[in-house]
Amino acid sequence: MKAVKLFIGLAFALIAGSASAQDFSDPQYAKWGETPEQRKENILASTFLKEELANRNFNQAAKYLQQLLQNCPAASENTYANGIKLYKQKINRARSLAEKNGYVDSLLLLYDIRLVHFGAHPKRGKAYILDRKAREHLTYREGDREGIRKDFEIAIAAQVEVNGTADAELVAIYFKNLCDDYKNDIVDAMTIVNAYEENSKYFNSADESQAEFKNQFETSFGTSGAASCENLQKIFEPKIAAAPSDEKLLAHAFQLMSKTGCESDFYLSVGEMYYGVNPQSSVAMLLAQIFQNKKEFGKANKYLREALAKETVADEREKLLARIGILEMTANNYAEAVKAFNESIAVDETDDDGLALYFLAQCYVAGSKDCGSELAKHSVYWVAYDLVQKAIPMMEVAGISQVEAAKNLANSYRSVFPTAEECFFAELKEGVAYTITCGLAKGLKTTVRYRAQ
C-alpha cells in the first residue's frame, strides 16, 4: 500500500511539475480561472479528479469535483462526465437509504448545472443532457413517479426543440412508465390517450432500427387498459355531443376506437358521423366490416358501394369490389357476389391474390341448385375446380392463409365431377370443350372430365 501511495504521489508530482512549466496567463486558459494561479490549481484538480476516480479514492475525488464546480463550472465537459461516474459509484456504495438519496440528488443536480454551462453544445447540449437526466432519474429514483414523468416530458420537448423530433427509445420508455402509472391509479385514462396521440407522431417515419421501440409503444398502449371502448366513450361522448361536426375530433375518436377493436353503438355512430364529414373508402370499409359482423348487411353494403362510387384508385376499387363480393356472398346474394368478384378480377388480372377466384368458384357452385339435371349440376364443378386451381398459386405467392382450404376445396370439387356413365349417356367425351348451360356459371366454357372412380 505504501508503494502504491508513493507511486501516486510521484505521478501527481510529475503532473504538477508539468503544469508549472505552462504559461497559464494565455487566454486559452481563461475558462479555468481569473488568475494564472487559479487556472493552474483548477487544471490540476481536473487531472487529479480523473486519477482519484480511477484509483477509487472517491472521497478525495469528490473534493476535486466540488472545487471545479465552484471555481470553473464551464471549463470542461469532463468535469461532469467524471462527476457522474463518481456519484454513481457513491450511490452503489451508500450504506443507508438517506445516504443514497443524497447522492441521487447530487447526481441529478449535476445534470442541471451541466445544462446551464453546456446546454448550447452542438452535440451534447440541451437535448442530450435532459435525455440522460430523465433516464438517470428513472434508474435511481423509480418511486418518484411525478418527477420521472416531468423529466421525461421536458427531455422529449427539448429533443423536439433541438432536433425537430424525439428519440424513439426515450418516448417508448416514457410511455411505458406512464401506462404503468395508469395501471397503479396514479394517472387517468385521458392522460394516457392524450400522451398516445401526442407521441405517436414520432414513430410515423420510424425505420427498421426503431421498429422495436414503436412496437413497445403500441404494446404499452394496447395492454394499458386505458384505451378500452368504455373509457374512450366516456372521454369522447360529451366532446362529440358538443361539437358533432368537428372533423379532427371525430377522426381522433374513430381512429382510437378502431385500434381498440370497438364495435359498440357509440363507435358506429362516431364512424358514421366521421364518414359524413370525410367520406374516405378506408372509413367505409371499417364501418362495413363492423356492420357485417353485426349481420346488418344492408348498411354494410351501403357503405361499400358509396365508397366504390367515389373511389378512383384501381387498387382500392379492386379491394372494395372484393369486399362487396364477400358481403353479398355472406348474405346469400350469389348473383350480386358473382358480378362483384368478376369486376374485381377485371380491374387488374395480373395483380390478383386469388381470393376473388376462390370465392367466385363457391358462388358458381351455390348457383348450381337452379340446374335441372344431375349432369348439368355436376358440370358446374368443372368450372369451379378450374377457378380454384388457378387461385391456389396466386394465393401461395400472396401468402394467403386459406391456401390449404383452397386445396381441400379443389379436391372436393373434383370428387363431384360427372361420372363416366353420366357423360356417356350425354354423349360427352373426356377432354372435349363444354359450355355450362345453367345457373350463375351459364355460358362459361370448360372441359369435360370424368369423376375419379
* pLDDT, tens digit, 9 for 90 and up, residues 238-267: 989 999 999 988 998 898 888 888 888 999
Helix (H, G, I), strand (E, B) or coil at 150: helix
Q: Which of 332, 279, 345, 333 is nearest to 308 (CA)?
A: 279
The mean per-residue pLDDT over the stretch 318-325 comes to 91
Please, are residues 159 and 167 in contact by the beta-carbon 8 Å criterion? yes
The mean per-residue pLDDT over the stretch 296-306 comes to 90
Q: Burial level of 131, CB count in 10 A (0-12/13-18/19+)? A: buried
CA 362, CA 416: separation in Å to the nearest integer?
A: 14
206-232: b or e for each residue (b if 16 or more CB lie within 10 Å)?
eeeebeebbebbbebbeebebbebebb
Helix (H, G, I), strand (E, B) or coil at 252: helix
The mean per-residue pLDDT over the stretch 325-353 comes to 88
User: What Cα–Cα distance (Å) separates residue 290 from each residue in 140, 264, 300, 390?
Assistant: 47, 9, 8, 31
Cα torsion through 276, 277, 278, 279, rounded to 10? 30
- CA angle at 95 for the pair 93 and 96, rounded to the nearest 5°: 125
Mean pLDDT, the chain, rounded, equals 90
**What percent of the chain stands above pLDDT 70?**
94
Asked if pLDDT for residue 121 goes beyond 80, the answer is yes
Please, are residues 361 and 391 in contact by the beta-carbon 8 Å criterion? yes
Q: Which of 367, 377, 358, 302 is nearest to 333 (CA)?
A: 367
Per-residue pLDDT at 20: 52
| Residue 403 grid cell | 391456401
- CA angle at 427 for the pair 424 and 433, rounded to the nearest 5°: 110
CA 446, CA 184: separation in Å to the nearest integer?
A: 67
DSSP symbol at 209: G
Per-residue pLDDT at 2: 44
pLDDT digits (tens, 9 = 90+) for 384-409: 999 999 999 999 998 999 999 999 99
Residue type present at position 101: N
Asked if pLDDT for residue 134 goes beyond 90, the answer is yes
Per-residue pLDDT at 370: 83
Q: So where are the chain's domains? A: 364-453
Helices 77-93, 36-54: inter-axial angle, 10-degree rounding:
40
Please, are residues 324 and 342 in contact by the beta-carbon 8 Å criterion? no
User: What Cα–Cα distance (Å) separates residue 130 from each residue in 96, 210, 217, 340, 384?
Assistant: 28, 21, 21, 58, 66
Helix (H, G, I), strand (E, B) or coil at 35: coil
Q: Which of 322, 263, 311 is nearest to 287 (CA)?
A: 263
pLDDT band of 5, cuts 50, 70, 90: very low
**CA-based Rg of the chain, rounded to a whole angstrom?**
36
| Residue 215 grid cell | 412496437
CA 129, CA 381: separation in Å to the nearest integer?
A: 72
Task: Provide the H-helix boundaries in 243-354.
Answer: 247-260, 265-277, 281-293, 297-310, 314-330, 334-347
The mean per-residue pLDDT over the stretch 166-174 comes to 95
pLDDT band of 163, cuts 50, 70, 90: very high
User: Chain-centre distance of CA 323, in angstroms?
Assistant: 26
